[in-house]
Amino acid sequence: MPIKFGTDGWRAVIAEDYTFRNVRLCAQGASGMLKRRGLAARGIVVGYDTRFGSERFAAAVAEVTAANGIRTFLTDRAAPTPAVSHNLVARGAAGGLIVTASHNPPQWNGLKFKPDYGGSASPEVVEELEREIAAAEAAGRAERLPLDEAGSSGLVQYFDPRPSYLDHIGALVDLNAIRASGMKVMVDSMFGAGAGYLPALLAGGSTRAVELRGERNPAFPGMAQPEPLAHNLSELMASVARGPADVGLATDGDADRVGVVDEQGRFITTLQTFALLCFHQLEVLGKSGPLVRSITMTSMIDRLGETYGAPVFDTPVGFKHLGPVMMREDALAAGEESGGYAFAGSIPERDGILSGLMILEMMVKTGKSLSELLAMLEAKLGPHHYDRWDLRFDETRRQEIERNVRERAPETLGGKTVTALDARDGYRFVLEGGYWALVRFSGTEPLLRIYAEAESPEAVQVLLAEARALAGA
């Protein structure tokens, strides 16, 4: 099966398609692309997460890049994807390869390629990379230099990714005020690569950070997958409510996403979270500039844009689309429904740790709890509720499901008039009142995703059920 980089990198089941041979072919393809572009002399950064075998797969990547004569900087420990991305930019490297499957179930692993700006690779770069990987596979081999030899020759150098990254993101918020606020923050690192980062940032003042699931466990016990959504965060929600604590923050497997729990132990949806973060930029910090959202993100961003005179740009799903628009428009923030948010002044890429700091800064600057901030947002923008269904489907039915949605496109959905249809990435039905429903196939997993946003939880469930029936799933 050809190696394909989906919404954010290549992912596959370990020991089936995710093998050392295929990982080496990917590294050979990336090396070939950098050499063809004349960028190899700038070097490459290689990092990895806490999944099964990730450090060994990263070593295999480094052996290939070094064998191609590319100076390789290899992290000396598991690290968050945004930390690796920051370091490649700080070093002026040509790119980065990160062994991670992000939030996928434990039997998966993956590989992300980051260009020199540290964000997700654009569709054009992905196409070029896939061509180079296919060429390496056709040739039947990848160059390989044993790691000890590569190290002794200076082609591979180990480095600690923490100091530069922590200094960088700590300077993007009022960290002293956060540390001095006396808050109690519960942190759920979900056994992932973000373990220890938020506690380290918050140390040194009266604020206390208590970390849950901070040890490495590639089985990710107690959750379907290390994705910071409500069904995986029952321990965090209970701990915040019982604490008592002021807030709960969770980061996914590679810490590029965040999940937020309010002081009552209630999960704040990813759409509400991004709306709060944009409100923080525009209202609390008084900044001005564009906002970028994916088509799966809340229409509250559009209303914030109208309220504060901020242009809003929407894109298909994935930071390979969001990041380039963010850079082109010099945007304040970009966000997608998966819980990934990026901010001006940092890499044009998701950062769950920085997002968590932004939430804390907003609470400190306003002196309000998360529930109070949500009430402020609803008073300003109206009620917005959201949910998503992830459905397994028979791959042989993919075309049938897509045809069903396309040919059955209704005039109303959930009792609301369909005012527009966006087919750039799945089928998004724009409804009166700014609400919407979307049917699309996941770009990283064999799932049919159905999304909906409406004025009440009950209206959301009606939209989801009608959209599912429309797809015949």
CATH classification at residue 242? 3.40.120.10
Same domain, residue pair 357 and 402: no
pLDDT value of position 8? 75
Of 325, 360, 381, the one marking the end of a domain is: 381
CATH classification at residue 455? 3.30.310.50
pLDDT value of position 7? 64
Same domain, residue pair 396 and 374: no
Same domain, residue pair 370 and 464: no
Q: What is the pLDDT of residues 281-305, one digit of tens each?
A: 999 999 999 999 999 999 999 999 9
Instruction: Answer yes or no: is 5 within a domain.
Output: no
Instruction: Answer yes or no: is 17 within a domain.
Output: yes
Q: Which domain holds residue 395?
A: 385-471
Same domain, residue pair 315 and 178: yes
pLDDT value of position 302? 95
Of 101, 134, 160, the one marking the end of a domain is: 160
Write a three-state SS string for the chain: CCCCCECCEEEEEECCCECHHHHHHHHHHHHHHHHHCCCHHHCEEEEECCCCCHHHHHHHHHHHHHHCCCCEEEECCCCCHHHHHHHHHHCCCCEEEEECCCCCCCCEEEEEEEECCCCCCCHHHHHHHHHHHHHHHHHCCCCCCCHHHHHHCCCEEEECCHHHHHHHHHCCCCHHHHHCCCCEEEEECCCCCCCCHHHHHHCCCCCEEEEECCCCCCCCCCCCCCCCCHHHCHHHHHHHHHCCCCEEEEECCCCCCEEEECCCCCEECHHHHHHHHHHHHHHHCCCCCCEEEECCCCCHHHHHHHHHCCCEEEECCCHHHHHHHHHHHCCCEEEECCCEEEECCCCCCCCHHHHHHHHHHHHHHHCCCHHHHHHHHHHHHCCCEEEEEEEECCHHHHHHHHHHHHHCCCCEECCEEEEEEECCCCEEEEEHHHCEEEEEECCCCCEEEEEEEECCHHHHHHHHHHHHHHHCC
Same domain, residue pair 116 and 213: no
Instruction: Answer yes or no: is 3 within a domain.
Output: no
Instruction: Answer yes or no: is 1 within a domain.
Output: no
Which residue ranges in the chain fall short of pLDDT 50?
none
Same domain, residue pair 125 and 242: no
pLDDT value of position 446? 80
Same domain, residue pair 325 and 184: yes
pLDDT value of position 271? 94
Same domain, residue pair 313 and 225: yes
Same domain, residue pair 377 and 402: no
Same domain, residue pair 447 and 336: no
pLDDT value of position 357? 98
Q: Domain count for the chain, please give it.
A: 3
Of 114, 137, 160, the one marking the end of a domain is: 160
